[in-house]
Amino acid sequence: MNKKKRFNEIVRKIKSVEIQGAKNVARAALEAYFLLPSKDSKEKLMSSRPTEPMMFYVLNLAEKGVSKKEILNHFEFSQKEINKHVLKLINNGDVIFTHCHSTNVVNSLIYSKKKGKKFKVYNTETRPLFQGRKTAVELMKNGIDVTMFVDSAAAFAIKKDDKSDKIYVDKIFLGADALLKKGVINKIGSGMFAEIASRNKIPVYIIADSWKFTKDKIKIEQRSLNEVWDKSPKNIKIKNPAFEFIKRKYISGIITELGLMKYKEFLRKIK
C-alpha cells in the first residue's frame, strides 16, 4: 500500500472509531502525519475526531519538528507513572466502575492485577458503539473479574450502601479526552455516572495523560445518527453526541504522570 493509501486508511479508521480512545487516536494520527507530513494532512487528521486535544497537541509538536520517538516515549513514560499511582490507590477487595474504553484506565488496571491487587471491575456496554466490550475482553483476558451492565443500569450499579444484593462500587475510574479548566470531557454518559457517584459519596477518579489538557474551546463531536438507529423511520429525530462534560465538583482526584492530586492542584501544576 502506498503512503497516500495508508494515510487515508488511518483517517478512515479514526473516523469510524475502529481506532478509538484519545491515546490510540493520537498515536495513529502521528503515524499518519509522518507518512505525509504537511499542513493539509494535519488538518485532515484534526477534523477526523474534533474532541481530541491530545491529537491536536502531538500533531503540533510533530509539525514543529519533535520526533515521533520522543512523543511515543512520553506516552510510555506517562502510562508507567499512571500505573504506579493507580496501584497505590486500589485497595484489595475494591469494586471499580468504569465506562467506555480508556487505554490509560485499562492498562493501569491490568498492571495492578499483575502486581497482585485483588479487585473487581464493573463496566458499561457503552452504546451505541459498544466500546465497553473491548474493555471487558481485555480485562477478562488478564484475569480480572469483570461484570458488564447496560448503560442505563447506572443508578443500579453505582451505589455503596446496599451490600445486601452484593452490587456496590468503591471507586469510579474514568478516562478523559479533554482536561479543561472547569472539568473534563469523556465519553457520553460520564457526566451522569459522576453525578450518581457523587450523590452516593463514591469517589470519581480521572485517569489521563496530562497532554490532554487544553485552554482551547473544545467542540463535542456529534456522530452519525445511523449508529443509534440504522434505517430509522422518517420524522424521528435522533441526537448522538459522542462525549460529555464532567463538572470539576464531581471529580475527587486526577491521576496523570504528574501524580494523584485534586483537580485544582493539577490545574496549578499544568500551568
Least spacing, CB of residue 4 vs ligand RUB, in Å: 25
- Asked if 98 touches ligand RUB (CB under 6 A), the answer is no
With 0-12 / 13-18 / 19 or more C-beta atoms within 10 angstroms meaning exposed / middle / buried, residue 67 is exposed
Active-site option among 40, 161, 165, 177: 177
Q: How far apart are CA 109 and CA 251, in angstroms?
A: 19
Residue (168 or 242) nearer to ligand RUB, CB: 242
- Minimum CB separation of residue 238 from ligand RUB in Å reads 17
Comparing CA positions, the residue from 188, 187, 182, 184 lying closest to residue 205 is: 184
Asked if 165 is an active-site residue, the reply is no
Within 10-29, which residues bind ligand RUB (CB under 6 A)? 17, 20-24
Cell of 99: 465506562
* Helices and strands, number each (H, E), in the chain: 10, 10
Q: Report how far residue 222's alpha carbon sits from residue 160's, in angstroms, rounded to the nearest whole number.
A: 34
- Catalytic residue of the set 40, 100, 145, 165: 100
Work out whether 191 is an interface residue with ligand RUB (CB under 6 A).
no
Instruction: Among 81, 151, 177, 257, indicate the residue that binds ligand RUB (CB under 6 A).
Output: 177
Residue 170 annotated as catalytic: no
Q: Nearest approach, Cβ of 271 to ligand RUB (angstroms)? A: 22
Tell which one of 186, 210, 252, 256 touches ligand RUB (CB under 6 A).
186
Parallel, antiparallel or unpaired: strands 183-187 and 243-247: antiparallel
Residues 6+ apart with CB under 8 A from 108: 79, 82, 83, 86, 87, 173, 207, 255
Question: In this structure, what DSSP letter does residue 92 have?
Answer: T
Q: Which is nearer to ligand RUB, 90 or 242 (CB)?
A: 242
Report CA-CA distances (Å) from 261 to 59, 253, 257, 264. 28, 5, 11, 8
Nearer to ligand RUB, 175 or 253 (CB): 175
Min dist CB 161 to ligand RUB, Å, is: 27
252: which DSSP letter? -
- Report the nearest approach of ligand RUB to the CB of residue 98 (Å): 9
Q: Does 100 bind ligand RUB (CB under 6 A)?
A: yes
Instruction: Provide the mask over 120-159, with x wherever binding to ligand RUB is found by CB under 6 A and - wherever it is not.
Output: -----------x----------------------------
Listed residue (161, 260, 246, 168) closest to 208, CA to CA: 260
Catalytically active residues, by annotation: 100, 177
The residue ranges that bind ligand RUB (CB under 6 A) are 17, 20-24, 100-105, 131, 175-177, 186-187, 242
